Structure 1
Amino acid sequence: SNPEVVRVVVGAGEIWDDFVKESVDRSLYGLENLSGVPGTVGASVVQNIECYGAEVKDSVESVEVFDTETFEIEILTNKQCDFIYRHSIFKTEEGKNFIILRVNFVLKKEGKLNLGYKDIKNYLKENNLEEKDIDLKKMREILLFIRKNKLPDLKQFGTAGSFFKCPIVDSEIFMRLKEIFPDMPNYKIDIGCETSLQGEHKIPIAFIIDHKLGWRGYREGEVGTFDKHALIVVNHGNATAKDVKNLAEKIVKDVKEKTGINIETEVVMW
């Protein structure tokens, strides 16, 4: 056993952010950048939730599942879960027979905070804070503040959160996009030879949908995009699933026509 880590077994039905709060309160590192994400612990591994430079897969050791075909309980290792960007085996045909029971996490007693994202840097600057002033609890406080001011209040809007994946593209496509949008930010990534992702650059699709194609705050009847974040599709009250799907398809089509790239929805629609 490693004295520098703590293993935590969490039921799939537990509220994700309650677990994050508990880990931060106990001074355990690894999940702090995922503060404020709605949903359950089980859902976190289905989606491989990711924000502010952290992915849940980096803290998951294994997932305990019930197989509805064999009626047996199995333990899937991190590798067997096939985690890649906003994806896991649980979103595929291969994993549709698995019911997640528990998730086994490995958290660290010591760690380095990830303060590199623009929103976090802006917060520090606006509040006259330095990186050395930030501990785990302050980090969580900052991220909850950022999310509250950037994302919809779930008591007011129906939403599944960020609706589209940021595409991963190769250098050739990236350079073509930079010609169209010279001020477009991007994130160089290390793909890793075992993933199915092909490419080198993660494109912040919100920048294109919002700043370049003008979809932020768009409304069509009872469905629209959030007025502070174009990646988020919201139900203003009485939109149907068909309304939501139709709007998503319009945005996907517009991106394809204006940029030539295909974007995928994060939300799985049957």
Structure 2
Amino acid sequence: MCLHFLSENGVIKGGIGGVSLVSPAQKVWRVAQALGDIAFAYPFSLVLLEIEDTLRSPPAESQTMKAAARASIAVTTFFYLGCGCFGYAAFGDDTPGNLLTGFGEPYWLVGLANLCVVLHLLGGYQVYAQPMFALVERRFGAGVVDAEMPLLGRVSVSRLCFRTGNVAAATAVAVWFPYFNQVVGLIGAFTFWPLAIHFPVQMYLAQGKVAPWTGRWLAIQAFSAGCLVACGFASVGSAMGVFGPERS
């Protein structure tokens, strides 16, 4: 899509300094929001263990997941960078926060892109919702009641009600709460460090029996602390965008 508009414009817009803003403070907050958006773009740690649990060995599950994680991160980064760079080159300072809502034409291209997003989210929701479904159903499994239903056969009433209610609630929140860059950055800033950095680091230190205050331990803890500071910076900038005068 970005390449389409870039070819229509005939020139590369934007500059090396990024979007022109009124004050340096605005530039700082936009950078912080961008860090939050980047953090939100890499949330696979939420489903990493669930996916690994479905693998079979040999080869070892960890070996398979390392190769899969490297490949997925490389491909994801390529597409994200391509979308960001080509989008800025095509639209310059007028680049919309959401490329699918910033313009209406050509309608067929925007419609095709939205269809791809729907297909992506249908599968993504299933993957991300399964851990929560499994937790709730394990906890309240004793209260499951089976019943015969037309066309469905024998189903679990509690499972049917909970999953249907969860999907309805998630849809209502998604419609009610605007999905713009600052909200995405705020969510990414709050979730990235504990889920993708802190807990994996602590598990690694415990599994590897890394002695405290050794060089290796200090390096890992410094990395974790640096990520915490970056997420804190991103959360402040994103909060300024959501609640401050720069809200869009």
Q: TM-score range by the shorter chain?
A: under 0.3
Instruction: Give me the TM-score of the superposition, normalised by structure 1.
Output: 0.25
Structure number having the greater helix percentage: 2
Structure number having the greater strand percentage: 1
Larger radius of gyration between Structure 1 and Structure 2: 2
Instruction: Give me the TM-score of the superposition, normalised by structure 2.
Output: 0.27
Higher relative contact order (CA 8 A, sep 6+): 2
